[in-house]
Amino acid sequence: MLNHAYEDAPRRHPGGGASCPVLPQAPLSFGLESPAGGSPVRVQLMYFNAGGGHRASSLALEAAIGRAGLGWLVERVNLLERVDVHDVFRRWTGMAPEGIYNKRLAMGWTAGLAQELRLLQAGIRMGHPFLMKRLRQHWLLSRPDLVVSLVPNFNRAMFLSLQQALPGTPYATVMTDLADLPPRFWIEKGLPIHIVCGTPRAVAQAHAAGCAPSHVHSVSGMLLRHDFYAPRLGGSDRLVRRRELGLPLDRPVGLVLFGGEGSRQMLTIARQLPDVPLILLCGNNEALARALRELPARAPRAIVGYTGDIPQYMQLADFFIGKPGPGSLSEAIQMGLPCIVASNASTLPQERYNTHWLREQELGLTIGGYDEIAWAVARLLADLPRFQAAARRVRNHASDELPGVLAGIVAQVPTRAAAVLAAGAVMRMS
């Protein structure tokens, strides 16, 4: 039996309704060893670089496990590199598979991705035997005691190959989206995969899909880096930093962010808001940064290239404009920023629920396109204190909660003989 000292204070769950308790910041004293006995638990965090959020979540979880003091050996594994061990895709196309997807995000070429997602899923099903072979080889060579997936679409192949190679090894999927996009996206029907959900909507979807209650785990939001929980800048420090960037001290400032590669939508936003002070984070897109610097503006602007200090820039802002990605929204709301996002045919299919969630929680505004941004900013600023208060009420401690959830999963690992029998049953089900 695992005992934790939970906080008793009520808090608002990011998805609405009752929240789950928060694990203490102090190291957890599970004292768990590998099921093989005598050595630390070997954990593999499976991610890929499509969009950046999966990699960021894997880094946040790796750091959270370290802070929890579990003594586990954690390895982050890029799934696509393990599957395409000879780099065939890169040799054929000149870039990694994620590179094409990320390029489309940066250019705003996202219309039609819902149909392409179904084609991708069909391709994954057709390639299932190949995936199973590659993944079995990987598991047998690396022999993890726990596998944690932070990617969608591939969980059936990863789970079944793991059970073939190392029967009974626990497997958990940590959803990095606010909700599932069935079928066969995050939640796999009929397989005893542990599913970690960051909203009540995702929990309800897991139960509706027939997941056993013992395999559905609720946490209070998306995984965030630890520096999003760091102490806030004091009032005077905030003013000094704003002054250094040439930003006004007495007017609301917007922060515009579209991921690590930026987006051409930022040019539309900048043109529509010549009188609004803005921080524009362009990521690795230097061409975008140059184009933004050339645009005329009456209000001050700070145009920033790649930075690892997004939390501090968010502390200098008063509201957020960007795409409705689960990571960006969660980061902004954690920093107390209400959000303005677009919802239209170009919105990624797995992110469409996020716009509904934003409205339901009264955490910001949704518009049909960024040509409407001036109207949306005026409306948000007219009621800014109310929107900011709603953002401050959200409490997301998923990074502190997840190590305890995973430790509980490891603690339930059956004896090796029982595990082999259970894995055999799973393979017959598949």
Same domain for 418 and 384, yes or no, is no
Residue 23 banded pLDDT, cuts 50, 70, 90: very low
- Res 341 pLDDT > 60: yes
Asked if residue 292 and residue 202 are part of one domain, the reply reads no
In this structure, the answer to whether residues 199 and 300 fall within a common structural domain is: no
Q: What is the pLDDT of residue 102?
A: 54
Q: Which of 34-43, 383-392, 405-414 has the lowest mean pLDDT?
A: 34-43
Question: Which tens digits make up the pLDDT trace of 63-84?
Answer: 999 999 999 999 999 998 888 7
Average pLDDT over residues 372-385: 98
Q: Are residues 69 and 125 in the same domain?
A: yes
Quote the number of domains for the chain.
2
pLDDT greater at residue 169 or residue 87: 169
Residue 417 lies in a domain: yes
Could you tell me if residue 378 is inside a domain?
Answer: yes
The reply to whether 119 and 71 lie within a common domain is yes
User: Mean pLDDT across the chain, nearest whole number?
Assistant: 84
Rg over CA atoms, the chain: 22
Mean pLDDT of 314-341: 96
Sequence-ordered strand ranges (E) for 89-246: 146-149, 171-174, 194-197, 216-218
Average pLDDT score over residue span 6-16:
40
pLDDT computed for residue 120 by the predictor:
72
Query: 51 in a domain, yes or no?
Result: yes
pLDDT at 264 over 50: yes
Q: CA-CA distances (angstroms) from residue 391 to 170, 337, 338, 384, 385?
A: 36, 6, 6, 11, 10
- Same domain? For 241 and 322 the reply is yes
Q: Give the distance between the most distant pair of CA atoms in the chain.
A: 72
- Measured CA to CA, the distance from residue 160 to residue 196 in angstroms comes to 18
- Has residue 332 been placed in a domain? yes
3 state SS of 195: strand
pLDDT range class, residue 338, cuts 50, 70, 90: very high
Does the pLDDT of residue 30 top 60, yes or no? no
- Whether 109 and 252 map to the same domain: the answer is no
Could you read off the pLDDT of 200-241 as tens digits, one per residue? 999 999 999 999 999 999 999 999 999 999 888 888 999 999
Note whether residue 13 is domain-resident. no
User: Is 412 inside any structural domain?
Assistant: yes
Per-residue model confidence (pLDDT) at position 379 = 98
Phi, psi angles (nearest 5°) of residue 365 = -125, 150
The pTM score is 0.82
Residues 420 and 387 both lie in one domain: no
Residue 34 forms part of a structural domain: no
> In this structure, what CATH number is given to the domain that contains residue 255?
3.40.50.2000
The answer to whether residue 3 is domain-embedded is: no
Q: Which domain holds residue 388?
A: 230-393
The answer, yes or no, to whether residue 91 has pLDDT greater than 60, is no
